[in-house]
Structure 1
């Protein structure tokens, strides 16, 4: 394997995998989902399910990737030759292609809002609901910024694993944590901020109900970027001396820390100025600008926040595009640049109807959903749970148990008892939890 196709350091892998996981799930989706599900109870359940269910599946993806050393499709061919299991990898690759086609639309909104923030369009007294509506409805603006987002993603991924993805994440991830800490400190020093901290950290048990549990479980899967083979792809570039358990734990806790910081930036400020926490998906685009405008230097701080959201959005996009490229070039790095440009532009083209779903194509409904919402539903509600369930069954039941334990233990100082506990959680707990989320999403329970 060429140097361009392997991580140059252990921390490079951890930061890149954490970047894949820490995207809009932690910064955009977690705060509004927590806000509409009671805050602290949701956060505690999310923490519990991340550790007990999502982490075992993530480690299973690491096992498949590192053991095979192959892309998402060839990994299954290598570990289960002459079987139907490679279709799980193909599904993951196709899911990453489609996911990035509409994820890049939201990435475009983030860039657009970053421009708004620096150009002075975000100011005290502005109608942020109208601004967001105009931003997502503009065909030219939506397509231009979506294209710009894809160009950024292509530019990094075409550089390869160590020279492109790893190098970008080495700067983006530490910057993300530093900026988040600065914003959290500012938010926590606002008058009345402690009410927001209580909302996030002091459980109100009246919200402890089945729907909150299922939503928290779904968020745990979404947050660790599992079920679409991105972690299989990243782990394929690992050496055998990498401690998968410690790496997985680091990635998980970094993700949980960013989710917590996002809550500590948003909820104290929201409560300090009398806004409602349960504002839904528009929270960072409509409510947060209004909140920041009430803070000294709020325009600058909001611009910093949007840059931070852009960092997180890009690091996730890198992993999605790399999953598709790795399956296409199959370790032939001479094909990388051309393949990345070709696939990246194809993803942009497929994403055009999603970008126009809030303007020119707003009236186009398929099964009652816009193109954007339909793709989102197919990936989030169907493909991700099926992918995660397949990976849990493949690693926990199809693969030889002793082989799995031996391979996952390589390079690890974690006690064998803990590794056995992981395998049991993967075999029993994860499939039951995934089936429950799947059934709930489809409205069966």
Structure 2
């Protein structure tokens, strides 16, 4: 019989959970979403939604996982054997599987860029960075190789388990992430003209906001905290009873906001200093930033530093997705390494159409979207909001209230009054907000 996996320390759990949350959402998606949706006003709304909506859901996932003491699929069934609630964990595993099938495609791009940056093959005089990005994403064997290599590294780490794999990797990668970001921020804000970028990012102008911007800010808070697919249910099931879940969730949320802050301060001052366009969109990282770094002293070094920082963040996030899939199929008779290997192979097979969406399958569409974009839409606009709604309703109305209170108060960091405030948020404010977002996203209201 296999020994139950467990974190060795509260710090290891927090860093691993933060790593699960911080990835493409904070470093790739957040800057371009901020650049195209109002700058400082969007950032302020993102912080508010993260604290008021995202944090309560994160605490709820922690409570489910530790309360049940098992991974996501078994957790809901253990806590409430009867009814459809027991399938919420299956929803999360399917969501993680689909998310990983396109997430790791972008991870492969980042890994290729990072490898090319070491000998200075990206930053070159007169280089066309739009063409470079098109070459990397438009060449089938390159996209598949990057996708496979990225998945292979994930498989190796997850195969070693919680303590020897994910926790050890997170304890190294997360501190490096913050150190590298601080270096980049210091360099970025010292450019002449950088102050305009800082103002754009930190001075809110609410006249730039509309209903769509507000909805995007809320959606970004879901995506960046990795809530809705029960990843944090699985992670918290490995946690001891002496750790305060609200404190841990608060630490993860603060770290996520800090990385988003660092990402903005590392990118927008550079963009404005070199007269570039902040509303570039998804290509902001891969096209605009290399152009900016090519115009600065030691640009090759700083771009390489940024890309490897980005790769670290994407890896720590993808570890969590492969872990929830692997844990769902683990039992006492199955080897972790075998299950992780099979799970990785299945993700690779499922992700091939998404990996080829920018080249061979670029003309194949589903409702007018490529396979990559359709999968992204399904996960971001249906699976994540739906999962958050199910989790909020489960904890607020279905789960044993005595157990919920016990898990919230364990660790002795917060009192009963704080619990009551959180409980009302998870019962009423969070579900109502998610329903409004969900219906608006689908164009129903």
TM-score calculated relative to the size of structure 2: 0.98
1:37 alignment partner in structure 2? 37
Distance 1:3 1:283 in 2: 45
Q: Which deviates further from its counterpart, 211-220 or 248-257?
A: 211-220
1:273 — aligned with what? 274
The offset of 1:140, in angstroms, is 0.4
After TM superposition, list the pairs within 5 Å mapping 1:210-289 onto structure 2: 210-289=211-290
Q: Counterpart in 1 of 2:199?
A: 198
Please give the alpha-carbon distance, in whole angstroms, between the structure 1 residues aligned to 2:339 and 2:400: 36
Cα offset, 1:305, TM superposition: 0.5
Residues 66 and 237, structure 1, Cα contact 8 Å, conserved in 2: yes
**For 1:260-339, what aligned pairs fall within 5 Å after superposition?**
260-330=261-331, 332=332, 335-339=335-339
Distance 2:53 2:238 in 1: 25
CA distance in 2, matches of 1:403, 1:103: 35
Query: For 1:234 and 1:241, how far apart are their aligned partners in 2?
Result: 15
Aligned to 1:77: 77
Residues 214, 436 of structure 1: 8 Å contact kept: no
Give SS of 1:85's match: helix
Q: 2:420, 2:441 → 1: CA distance?
A: 31
Q: Distance in 2 between matches of 1:74 and 1:124?
A: 55
* 1:340 equivalent in alignment to 2:340: yes
Residues 70-103 of structure 1 show CA distances to partners (whole Å, capped at 9, x for unaligned) of 1111101111012221211001111111111111
The alignment partner of 1:5 has SS state of: coil
* Distance apart, 1:3 and its partner CA: 5.9
Partner of 2:402: 402
Say how many residue pairs are matched.
444
Of stretches 199-208 and 238-247 in structure 1, the one that deviates more from structure 2 is: 199-208
Query: C-alpha displacement at 1:2, in angstroms?
Result: 6.1
The normalised TM-score by structure 1 is 0.98
Matches within 5 A, 1:106-185: 106-122=106-122, 123-185=124-186
User: How far is the alpha carbon of 1:4 from its aligned partner?
Assistant: 6.4
How far is 1:111 from its partner? 0.7
Check conservation: 2:159, 2:340, Cα contact below 8 A.
Answer: yes
Compute the RMSD of aligned alpha carbons.
Answer: 1.3
Moved more, 408-417 or 229-238: 408-417
Deviations 1:327-367 (A, max 9, x none): 1004x385201110111111111111110000011111121
Q: Distance in 2 between matches of 1:93 and 1:163?
A: 23
Is the Cα–Cα contact under 8 Å of residues 244 and 412 in structure 1 kept in the other structure? no
Q: How does 1:96-107 map to 2 (within 5 A)?
A: 96-107=96-107
Query: How do 1:370-385 and structure 2 match up within 5 A?
Result: 370-385=370-385
Whether the 8 Å contact between 2:245 and 2:407 is mirrored in structure 1 is no
- Do the aligned partners of 1:124 and 1:290 also contact (CA within 8 Å) in 2? no
Contact 1:184 1:261 in 2 (8 A): yes
* Cα shift at 1:65: 0.1
